[in-house]
Structure 1
Amino acid sequence: MTPVDTVRELRINGRRVRVSVRAGEGRPLVLCNGIGANLDLLQPFVDELDPAIPVIRFDVPGIGGSELPRLPYTFATMACLLGTVLDDIGCREVDVLGISWGGGLAQQFAVQNPRRCRRLVLVATATGMVMVPARPRVLSKMITPRRYRDPAYAAAIAAQLYGGRLRDEPELATELLIRHARMAPGRGYALQLIGGAGWTSLPFLPLIRQPTLILAGTDDPIIPLVNARIMHRLLPHSTLHVYPDGHLGLITRADDLAPRVAAFLRPSAVSTGG
C-alpha cells in the first residue's frame, strides 16, 4: 500500500507553518527545500523513496502554505524553528536531507543539534557565502522568484540555470516549478535570500560528526561541483556521490538517487551501487 501524506498546519511562534508527514517505520527523514520552493516540489523524490521511511516536509515561513514571519530570520533561528516543528509533531531523533538553500539549513541544524540529527544528506548545496560561486549570469536569475510564476520564463532559463536533463528537456522546468509548486511570494523569497546572507558553514564543517552523504551533479550551474568536493574534504564522516545531471537531479533522477539515500539511511538495506 502506498503511504499517505498527512498535511497539517501548526502554530509556531504565533504563525501558521504548513507541514506534511508521511507515516512509516523508525526514524523520520526531514526534507529541507531550496529557495522559493515549497514542500510539494520534492514529491517525485518522496514517491521513489522506500515507503517504509517516514518523511517530514515543511514550508519555510513566507513560502507555500506557511505565513510570513514577523521578523527576518537566519539559518540559526530557522534551525530552532525546525526543532520546534519536530517537537510539536513528537519527533526526537531524525535524519535530515537538505537541497540547495535547504542544504545550508540542514548543515546548521546538524551542528546545533548533534544528538537530534543522526544522519545528514546534502544535495546540490555548498558552504554559503564562502564558496566557489556560479557565473554572474546564473546568479542574476536567482534574485527573483519569477521562474515559479512564469511558465515561459521557467522553460527559457531552465538549461542555463539548472543544467543536466533540463538542457534537453526545458519544458520539464514548467512542470516541476509551476505545476507542482505554489506561487512563491516575493517577500517570502526575499526573506530566504536575506536569511542566507553572510552565512557560511566553512568554520564548523569539521564539527559535524554525523555520517553525511553528499550528492552533487556534474552539470550544476548554480552549485559548481568543486563545492561538493570541498565539503567532502572538510566533513570528517562524509561520502560523495556524483551523478550525471544538474541542480534538480534529486527530482529528475529520483529513481536512482532515492534508493541511494534509503541505503545510506538504512545501511542494512541492499545498496544500489557506488
Structure 2
Amino acid sequence: MKQATATPVRNLSSRKMEISQIVLYGMTLRVAVWPGTDKKTPLLMFNGIGASLELLAPFADAMGDVEMIAFDVPGTGESSTSRIPYRLWMLSMLASRLLDKLGYGDVNVLGVSWGGAVAQQFALQNPKRCRRLVLAATSHGLLMIPGKLSVLAKFLTPRRFNDAGYRNDIAGDIYGGKARLQPGLINEFRKTSKLGYLMQQFALLGWTSLPWLPLLRQPTLILAGDDDPVIPLVNARLMTQLIPDSRLHVFNDGHLFLVSAAEEAGRIVRDFLNTADGTQDEETGR
C-alpha cells in the first residue's frame, strides 16, 4: 500500500485490508487496498450500483497475493456524495487521479454489474494504463438486451441496500442463481443514500459502449451467469463477439457469482491475469 495514513482492517476480509479516507475534487472517498506482491500488476475494481466495499471482500479473499484497490463511489458506503451530477467518463478520471495519489502506475481492471460499465469506460480512456480487463455480470449499456421489467423495477431505488428484510425477500428473484436458495447471501452492506444512488443512475443514463467495443485492445475476460435475471447471458455473448481479444466464462449461477462462487471466480481471474504477468499461481502452479 502506497498511502502512509492507511489503517489495517481485518473484520471485512480474511486478507489484510487497509482502509484510507482520500480527499479528491472536494469529496472524501473510502478506499480499500488488499496488499499483494510487487511481481503482479495490481487490480483496480469497480463495484455494482449502490454497493459498498463489503460486497467485494469474498472475491478479494479468493485472489490470493494479487494487490487490489477498490473505493466506495461517491454517495455509496462511507464516501461523501458528489456536489454535482457526474458521468462515467468523469468517474473514470476520478479513478485515474486516485491511482496517481496512491502511487500506482499500470493496473488491471475489473468491473462488476454497473461497475463493469465504468471499467469499460476506464479501459477506453486509459488504453496504456489499463493492461487487462475483466467484465463481470455486466453489459454494454443502453442497447443491452434487458431483464424482466419486474426485476429491473426493483433497482430503481436503493431499498434493498437499506432494508435487510426486503433484500432477503427479493434476492432470489432479482439475483437468481444461488441466491434463489440462499436469500441471505449478502448480509454486509453500508447504507446507500437516495441521492448517491440517483447520481449513479444518472451517470449511466444514455450511456452505451456498443459503438466502440471493437476499439478496445486490452485482453478481456468476460464473466457471466447463466441464471442472471438482471443482465441476460446473451449480452455477454455479444460483447465477446465485439471486443477483439476477449474470452467468455459462464458460471452456473446468477448475478452474484463473485460472491456465491468466489473461489471459482478468483481462480479463473488469477489464471487470466497471471498470463499477462508471466507468473505462476501458487495454488495451481500455472
Normalising by the smaller structure, the TM-score range is over 0.9
Q: Distance in 2 between matches of 1:140 and 1:20?
A: 31
3-state SS, counterpart of residue 60 of structure 2: helix
1:152 CA drift (Å): 1.5
1:70-219 correspondence to structure 2 within 5 Å: 70-172=83-185, 176=186, 179-219=187-227
235, 247, 251: which one aligns with 1:243: 251
> In the alignment, does 2:77 pair up with 1:64?
yes
Which residue of structure 1 aligns with residue 56 of structure 2?
42
Amino acid at match of 1:161: I
How many angstroms apart in 2 are the aligned matches of 1:198 and 1:100?
Answer: 16
Give distance in 1, aligned partners of 2:156 and 2:265: 28
Structure 1: gaps (5+ residues): none
Q: Percent identity?
A: 48
- How far off its partner does 1:171 sit? 2.7
Instruction: Give 5+ residue unaligned stretches, structure 2.
Output: 1-13
Tell which deviates more after alignment, 102-111 or 14-23: 14-23
Could you tell me which of 264, 269, 273 is aligned with 2:280?
269
Task: Output the TM-score relative to the length of structure 2.
Answer: 0.90
Compute the displacement of 1:3 (Å): 4.3
| 1:225 matched residue in structure 2 | 233
Secondary structure of the residue aligned to 2:230 is coil
Q: Deviation of residue 249 (structure 1)?
A: 0.6
Task: Answer with 261-270 or 95-104: which moved more.
Answer: 261-270
RMSD: 1.2
In structure 2, the partner of 1:234 is 242
Following TM superposition, the consecutive aligned residue runs of length 4 or more in structure 1 with deviations greater than 2 angstroms are 268-272
Aligned to 2:27: 15
The aligned residue for residue 6 of structure 1 is: 18
Q: CA deviation at 1:210?
A: 0.2
Give TM-score scaled by structure 1 length. Answer: 0.94
User: When the two structures are aligned, how many residues end up with a matched partner?
Assistant: 265
